[in-house]
């Protein structure tokens, strides 16, 4: 199938229908009206702004999360913005279907309306990067910039987003470290189309710096500070935010996720197929078969999933897994790989090990050499010496991995995520076995299907 035919096929699946568009537009009009009316009833001078992919018309069919930002005047003190913003968000949410509090830099309200998720986020009504005071403020500027510069290439953005989702490289969250939707929009604007972004996969890596806002001319010193900082951190790309020269849009993008994009882009151009956008689910397999094939061992710590959002829980699980990797390598065990996550109500850390026992030498003090017990000690031990009149011997003991883990945790010798430390200390430690709900995770980890490039 040629590339144009593939693109047509994919677009039919990812482009919102006219009915869907009408539904979303109607929903946004209703929410805007509710927000304005509620602001006025509370005596607040707040402007509602829609941000994100729905506002920019770069959303994928069926992906309807609405971000409604409640913009306060710049002179509002930060504490007041947080308090009154939360009050306003709750008052708006009371008129919707359901809601709960969520937390980022400051609390916001997560609601649902007509089965669509709606985030109600307080922010400042910024007109320029110089006005930005909180991490969320830029979203208003991002939306405006994309709308002004996209010039009808909305479907190209949709294609790039779906491609990145299909190759498991989408999402800038700290536990994903892939491409954000905003970065995908910038790349399409910069290179002109979905296919041109893919064709430039090697060029942009070598060029390193992308400056769509022309900050290197307009704010050279600030832009160079950002570039030096990000270069020192060894980022794959430095994309100066077109609305703020202090920020690298690709700051969270990892080398691994760029590497996936690098190979898959080339493969797609060589052999276009819809499978890049809609891959088959990784085949199921037997984790015990993988252990037998490799002759390795699986150590799993399983515990009740803490009541934390993914943004907090997953980085702490990863930090803890890395902590075990370092601590066990100091004890002489080779950790061949690790994985961490949760399934249902269970959180887990999985470690693949070269072995689950090690031999360790200890020094065994004995009795005085001229006693009956001394003669007995001398006969029973292979390597014996004297210190003064006392006998000493070397003893080789076998130490199991479970005991090593217990000792490491007891002595606080593992760097663990702060919010889950106590949960891990109470974890069940399993060897070469996982409960049924973790069998698929164990197979995907041991087979490397979870990350496989080839």
Distances (CA, A) of 6 to 30, 155, 169, 195: 37, 14, 20, 12
pLDDT one-digit tens code per residue, 408-433: 999 999 999 988 999 999 999 999 99
Instruction: Tell me which fold the domain 14-136 belongs to.
Output: Beta Polymerase; domain 2 (3.30.460)
Q: Where are the beta strands (DSSP E) in 274-356?
A: 297-304, 335-343, 346-353
As annotated, the residues of the chain forming the CATH 1.10.1410.30 domain(s) are: 150-276
Distances (CA, A) of 245 to 47, 122, 138, 199, 238: 26, 23, 12, 27, 11
With bands split at pLDDT 50, 70 and 90, how would you rate the model's confidence at 70? very high
pLDDT one-digit tens code per residue, 334-374: 999 999 999 888 899 999 999 988 777 888 899 998 999 99
Provide the token pair at 426.
């109470």
Distances (CA, A) of 299 to 399, 409, 426, 449: 15, 15, 15, 19
What pLDDT, on a 0 to 100 scale, did the predictor assign at position 105? 66
Q: Is the dihedral of CA 101, 103, 107, 111 positive or negative?
A: negative
As annotated, the residues of the chain forming the CATH 3.30.460.10 domain(s) are: 14-136
Provide the token pair at 138.
């830029």
pLDDT one-digit tens code per residue, 182-200: 999 999 999 999 999 999 9
Provide the token pair at 10.
């994919």
Q: Tell me how far apart the alpha carbons of residues 82 and 123 are, in angstroms, rounded to a whole number.
A: 9
pLDDT for 104 beyond 70: no
Compute the mean pLDDT over every residue in the chain, rounded to the nearest whole number.
92
pLDDT one-digit tens code per residue, 216-269: 999 999 999 999 999 999 999 999 999 999 999 999 999 999 999 999 999 999
| Four-way CATH pick for 150-276: 3.40.50.2000, 1.10.1410.30, 1.20.1260.10, 1.10.10.10 | 1.10.1410.30
Segments in 363-438 forming alpha helices (H): 372-380, 401-410, 421-425
With bands split at pLDDT 50, 70 and 90, how would you rate the model's confidence at 101? confident
Contacts of 280 (CB under 8 A, 6+ apart): none
pLDDT one-digit tens code per residue, 275-310: 999 998 877 789 999 999 999 999 999 999 988 888
Percent of the chain with pLDDT over 90: 79
pLDDT for 120 beyond 90: yes
Mean pLDDT within 130-148: 94
| Four-way CATH pick for 284-454: 2.40.128.50, 3.30.70.590, 3.40.50.1220, 3.40.50.150 | 3.30.70.590
pLDDT for 396 beyond 70: yes
pLDDT for 398 beyond 90: no
């Amino acid at each position: 199938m040629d590339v144009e035919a593939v693109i047509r096929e994919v677009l039919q699946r990812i482009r919102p229908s006219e009915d869907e568009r009408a539904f979303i537009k109607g929903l946004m009009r209703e929410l805007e009206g509710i927000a304005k009316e509620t602001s006025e009833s509370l005596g607040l001078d707040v402007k509602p702004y829609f941000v994100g992919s729905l506002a920019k018309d770069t959303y994928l069919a069926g992906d309807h999360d609405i971000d409604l930002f409640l913009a306060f005047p710049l002179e509002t003190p930060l504490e007041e913005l947080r308090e009154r913003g939360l009050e306003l968000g709750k008052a708006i949410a009371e008129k919707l279907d359901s809601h709960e509090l969520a937390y980022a830099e400051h609390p916001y309200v997560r609601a649902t309306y007509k089965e669509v998720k709606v985030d109600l986020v307080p922010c400042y009504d910024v007109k320029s990067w110089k006005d930005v005071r909180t991490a969320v403020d830029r979203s208003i500027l991002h939306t405006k910039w994309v709308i002004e510069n996209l010039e009808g290439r909305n479907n190209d953005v949709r294609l790039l987003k779906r491609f990145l989702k299909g190759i498991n490289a989408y999402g800038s969250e700290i536990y994903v470290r892939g491409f954000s939707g905003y970065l995908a929009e910038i790349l399409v604007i910069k290179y002109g189309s979905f296919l041109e972004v893919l064709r430039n996969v090697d060029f942009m890596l070598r060029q390193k710096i992308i400056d769509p806002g022309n900050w290197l001319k307009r704010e050279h010193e600030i832009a160079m500070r950002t570039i030096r900082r990000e270069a020192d951190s060894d980022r794959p790309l430095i994309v100066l935010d077109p609305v703020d020269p202090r920020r690298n849009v690709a700051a969270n993008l990892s080398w691994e996720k760029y590497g996936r994009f690098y190979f898959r882009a080339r493969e797609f151009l060589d052999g276009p197929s819809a499978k890049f956008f809609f891959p088959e689910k990784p085949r199921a397999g037997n984790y015990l078969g993988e252990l037998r094939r490799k002759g390795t061992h699986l150590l799993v710590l399983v515990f009740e999933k803490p009541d934390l959002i993914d943004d907090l829980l997953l980085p702490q699980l990863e930090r803890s897994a890395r902590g075990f990797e370092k601590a066990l390598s100091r004890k002489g065990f080779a950790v061949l790989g690790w994985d961490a996550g949760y399934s249902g109500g269970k959180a887990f850390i999985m470690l693949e090990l070269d072995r689950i026992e090690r031999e360790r030498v200890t020094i065994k003090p004995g009795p005085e050499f001229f006693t009956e017990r001394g003669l007995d000690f001398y006969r029973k031990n292979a390597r014996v010496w004297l210190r003064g009149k006392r006998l000493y011997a070397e003893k080789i003991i076998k130490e199991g991995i479970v005991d090593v883990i217990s000792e490491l945790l007891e002595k606080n010798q593992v760097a663990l995520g702060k919010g889950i430390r106590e949960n891990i200390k109470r974890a069940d430690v399993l060897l070469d076995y996982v409960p049924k709900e973790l069998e698929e995770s164990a197979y995907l980890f041991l087979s490397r299907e979870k990350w496989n490039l080839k």
